[in-house]
Structure formats: structure tokens, C-alpha cells
Amino acid sequence: MNIFISANNTECGKTYTTLKLIKKFSKMGYKVGVMKPIETGVKDVPIDGKKLFEEAKKYNPLLENLTLNDIVPIQLSLPAAPIVAGEIDFEKIKISFNKIKSLCDILLIEGAGGIRVPVSKNFEMWNFLEFFNAKLFLIVSSKLGMINDFLLNKYFLEKKNINFVWSINLFDESYFEISHPFMKQFNPLILQKDLDKIAKKLIGE
């Protein structure tokens, strides 16, 4: 199973979420693999990709056969959308994907930015769902403005007939006063409170 972790925007907690899922699925008995196909803003090493790789290796020793360049095949120095930051080699991404996929039961794939971030001329981040044959897990930040972001993402995904699991990444308790009175109609799951439910939903239990 392949799970693509995206978000309603940048800095919403994709890496934080993926780290939690590595531990959760591993404790459920699954061999977990990780991949961040594209990381921008890389100076010396891809910081997010390295965090994911180091955490996953704690639970799945088969990943020791890989390198950080396998986990993050495309590393670009400019902290910008991939289409701006540099050329994207999709074949290189596919090679890494196939290598990692053979070593795990669940492959967690972390995107860059939000679901509509342009990767190349005719390819946006959500197109990786078909590329990897993956299920979408959408992280929605609890920060002010999240209602607008959530509704736009929901509208787009439903228009594209894309099924997705989503949860709120709770940055602080102010969410319950500011946004939850509206958001409660959608029965949101909270990452920090409902991780068991989220994990089961992602694997179809």
C-alpha cells in the first residue's frame, strides 16, 4: 500500500505527520518505507528526508540497504515550487520508488507543499497519486485561515473524484474556539488525538 501525504499548504506538518505514521504503522506490525520524491531548499542534506529515513530505519532494518539519495531522489537548492526550483527527473523518482517499495508493506510518500503545487508544466503534486498508485492523506493545518484552505482543497478533490483521508494538525487549542464551530460539521479527526482511527482509516479497516 502506498500513502501520499500532502497538505493544504506548506509548513502544515507533513513531515511531523509522516514521522508519527512511521511509528504507528510499525507498531501495528507493518514494514514501513518512506520517500520524499522532491525536496526543495536543500543546502547540504535534505533535512526532512533525512528525518524520515532515520526514523524508518529504526523499525525496518531492510531500509539500511538504501541511501538518502534513494529516499529523496530530487534535491533542489531553491526553496520554491519544484517547477521553479529546477528540472524534475520523473524516471529517477520511479527508480527510487520501485527500489523502496520492494522493502516494505506500507510506503509513506511525503509531497512538497500543497496538493496543487506545480511540479512541471503539465504535472501538479496531486498527479503523484496516479504516478504512485497511492491513497491521499491530506493534512489540514489548524492555523487561522484553515477553513478557506480546507474548503478549496475539498472542492478540488471532489471535482476530480479523488478519495482522500484527512485530519487536522493541531498547532494550538485556539482552533476549538476559532475554527471548530464551523469545521465540526465535517467530523474532523485530530492528528494528536485520533491517530489510531486515522491509521485504521488509511489502511481501510
Judging by beta carbons within 10 Å of its beta carbon (0-12, 13-18, 19+), is residue 52 exposed, middle or buried? Answer: buried
Write out the catalytic residue numbers. Answer: 36
The candidate with the shortest Cα–Cα distance to 39, out of 1, 4, 86, is 86
Quick check: is 169 in a domain? Answer: yes
3-state secondary structure of 169: strand
In a domain, 2, yes or no: no
**In this structure, is residue 3 part of a structural domain?**
no
C-alpha–C-alpha distance, residues 99 and 83, integer Å? 25
Q: pLDDT of the chain along its 205 residues, tens only?
A: 999 999 987 777 899 999 999 999 999 999 999 999 999 999 999 999 999 999 999 999 999 999 999 999 999 999 999 999 999 999 999 999 999 999 999 999 999 989 999 999 999 999 999 999 999 999 999 999 999 999 999 999 999 999 999 999 999 999 999 999 999 999 999 999 999 999 999 998 6
Query: Is residue 127 a part of any domain in this protein?
Result: yes
Is the Cβ–Cβ distance between 139 and 191 less than 8 Å?
yes
- Expressed as residue numbers, the domain containing 40 is 8-202
Q: What is the CATH number of the domain that holds 52?
A: 3.40.50.300
pTM above 0.75, yes or no: yes
The number of domains in the chain is: 1
